[in-house]
Amino acid sequence: MEEKKPKKIIRKAADQAETTAPVKGGSTIGLRIGSAVLWAIAIACEVLCILLLNGTLYVPISLMAALIIGIVIDLICVVIAAMLWKKANRIKPMKKEGNKVGFYLWSQLGLIMAIACFLPLIVILLKNKDLDKKTKRIVAVVAIVAMVLAGALSIDYDPISAEEKASAESLIEGDVYWTAFGKKYHIDEDCQALANSDTLYAGSVTDAIEANRTTLCAFCARNHEIEGELKIEDAE
């Protein structure tokens, strides 16, 4: 019988854990300010593109090139801003109880801003009758693709609430484990769901959530009889 190969476990360094401990569950002001600044830059790029379209602003390069450059910068800023926002939401999530609409809007602010940073430009572009057909067609395609890409990358597909995070932190002690891909974390390093994973990452449940592993594995939840408000994978 072939001997079972030991897994490589990468643990969060103790000195790093000590350094970041005060931040956990605490201030996310820097991340949120960063998001706000980048979204403001993205809106500014959109406004400049609109000014180029209506002839208010002139630049000494082709209109198509100027618009595409503006759209690309807009896209980069929107995506990075959304990543910072989602990271802040995992460190200090919003309460969901009694405010589901507010929780949804707060969690998906990245998607909302992605639409706001592109849709007005696309509408004005498509309504512009003075633009030559080639430029209009190419720039419209670029802008629509950019909006779709920005939206897809800005959505928080698995947002966690303050109640769910607090429940997980109170119910699970010690290290948990996760892989380079997926949304789940595991209590047992030998969990059957990890059978094909050679490399595992280990840390506290707070570390796992900050790494965007927000859902407890169904096998581990059942084996340890864990129940509560925390997010648990649906058992098949």
* pLDDT of residue 62 exceeding 50: yes
- pLDDT of 2 reads 47
| Together in a domain, 139 and 174 | no
Residue 17 within any structural domain of the chain: no
Q: How far is CA 31 from the centre of its chain?
A: 12
Question: What mean pLDDT is predicted for residues 27-53?
Answer: 95
What mean pLDDT do residues 103-122 have?
A: 97
| 19, pLDDT greater than 50 | no
- Pairing, β 8-11 against β 199-203: parallel
How far is 3 from 119, CA to CA, in rounded Å?
A: 57
Please, which pLDDT band fits residue 18 given cuts at 50, 70 and 90?
A: very low
User: What is the pairing mode between strands 215-216 and 184-185?
Assistant: parallel
CA distance 72 to 74: 5
User: What is the reported pLDDT for 92?
Assistant: 92
Identify the band that residue 199 occupies on the pLDDT scale cut at 50, 70 and 90.
confident
Cα separation, 221 vs 183, whole angstroms: 15
**Residue 73 · residue 7 · CB < 8 Å:** no
140/70 same-domain check = yes
| pLDDT classification of 39: cutoffs 50, 70, 90 | very high
Torsion-angle region of residue 90: left (phi > 0), alpha (psi -120 to 50) or beta? alpha
Q: Compute CA 8 distance to the chain's CA centroid, rounded to the nearest angstrom.
A: 27
- The Cα 117–Cα 146 span in angstroms is 10
**Domain shared by 128 and 206, yes or no:** no
Backbone angles phi, psi at 11, to 5 degrees: -100, 150
Dihedral of the alpha carbons of 200, 202, 207, 213, in degrees to the nearest 10: 30
Query: pLDDT value at position 8?
Result: 77
pLDDT (0 to 100) of residue 3? 52
Which residue, 154, 180, 212, sits at the end of a domain?
A: 154
Residues 111 and 35 reside in one and the same domain: yes
Per-residue model confidence (pLDDT) at position 83: 96
- Per-residue pLDDT of 211-227, as tens digits, reads 888 899 988 888 888 88
Same domain membership, residue 190 and residue 115: no
Q: Classify 116 as helix, strand or coil.
A: helix
The verdict on 65 and 176 lying in the same domain is no
Instruction: Give residue 193's pLDDT.
Output: 86
Same domain, 166 and 150: no
Query: What is the rounded average pLDDT for all residues in the chain?
Result: 87
- Pair (140, 28) in one structural domain: yes
Number of domains making up the chain: 2
Say what the pTM is. 0.83
Using the structure block, give the residue that is written with the tokens 């609109």: 50
Q: Which amino acid is at 176?
A: V
Instruction: Establish if 124 belongs to a structural domain.
Output: yes
Quote the domain boundaries for residue 39. 23-154
User: Is there a domain that residue 198 lies in?
Assistant: yes
Residue 17 has pLDDT above 80, yes or no: no
Phi, psi at residue 162, to the nearest 5°?
-60, -40
Nearest alpha carbon to residue 186 among 6, 9, 1: 9
Q: Which helix (H) or strand (E) holds 76?
A: helix 63-91
How many percent of the chain have pLDDT more than 90?
57
